[in-house]
Amino acid sequence: MADTKNPITNVKGEFIRGVTAFRNWIKDEPSAEYQPEANRYHLYVALACPWAHRTLVLLKLKGLDHVISYSTVDTLLEFEKGCGWAFGEKYPDPHHPTFTHLKDVYKLNESDYNGRVTVPVLFDLKTQKIVNNESSEIIRMLNSEFNKLARHPDLDLYPESLRSRIDELNEQVYPKLNNGVYRAGFAKSQEAYNNAYEDVFSMLDILENILSKQRYLIDNKQITEADVRAWTTLLRFDPVYVTHFKCNKKMISKDYPNLFGFVREIYQIDDIKETVNLDEIKKHYFASHLMINPTGIIPRGPEINYDLPHGRDHLQQK
């Protein structure tokens, strides 16, 4: 969900995340403007971005990658030039070979578009318009509206019986952890940083406690949307956020045994590992955010083995 422009802060030095611009929905209804159809939609993602990563995880978990195509943009963001996410020889736009930047896709909706250019983008190849660029809504669509085309239609990551609990946890995890690490990293005052720092670790402590008693964050027997939304941040925590965003009180891999097991378990799910490229993730943060890391030097560590046995199976028996 990263922007093409430098991070925005308020008068208190607090990072302010912008609002996504395109909020249409795909619905499995005869009257819907956007209906679920095979090979009609394309998902633009960045391997580095946790917000885009959650949509890619849903695509894989539901088994929709054979009916919804996806492609990645270049890892680096040129904040100072205002160019944003780029295509190139290694990362071409498969549907618009002459496009050089994701902003060109945005301009298909509005020729004079000059707003935020973010990933993920769910794009309609039929109308050549962006349907939605809000990750929390895209994952809901992928979960429920494409079941007749999915390889795993019975997997429901937002079941009706658990929705209130999922929503309640999401409302805590988003500001304190998902966005909390960004609030710490992009803070421009000590107070703003301190507040974000405390939020991050108070939330990690809460999640560690939950996972000490049950296998997943909401339900002991099944993974839900809440797990996916937390996981893409937790995965990046030790390699990036500890140093780059100064969230260095503790490390997931050393100080949170249950969180670390949880991260490894989801990483080891079929097809999920292939969505993870830690080199690309580190390259994006450390070489793009020159306002934080002026030299652009990318750290080589830490060395973390996500293939170690996760040891979470026994919790399901409780």
What is the distance between the alpha carbons of residues 270 and 60, in angstroms, rounded to a whole number? 9
216 is catalytic: no
109 CB neighbour count, 10 Å cutoff: 16
Q: List the structure tokens of 232.
A: 């893409």
Catalytic residue among 44, 70, 106, 182: 182
The response to whether 189 counts as a known ligand-binding position is no
Lowest mean pLDDT among 67-71, 75-79, 222-226: 75-79
The response to whether 117 counts as a known ligand-binding position is yes
Catalytic residue among 44, 49, 70, 216: 49
pTM of the model: 0.94
pLDDT digits (tens, 9 = 90+) for 78-125: 765 667 899 988 999 999 999 999 999 999 999 999 888 999 999 999
The response to whether 232 counts as a known ligand-binding position is no
* Domains along the chain with CATH numbers: 41-149 (3.40.30.10), 160-270 (1.20.1050.10)
The response to whether 131 counts as a known ligand-binding position is no
Q: In what order do the strands lie in the sheet with 121-124?
A: 69-72, 41-45, 121-124, 129-132
The response to whether 215 counts as a known ligand-binding position is no
Q: Are 12 and 189 in contact (CB under 8 A)?
A: yes
Q: CA 243 → CA 61, 137, 190, 293, 296, distances in Å? A: 31, 30, 16, 10, 13
Check residue 10 and give its pLDDT: 78
Q: Tell me the backbone φ, ψ of residue 69, rounded to 5 degrees.
A: -80, 160
Looking at the chain, the whole-number percentage of residues with pLDDT higher than 70 is 94
247 is catalytic: no
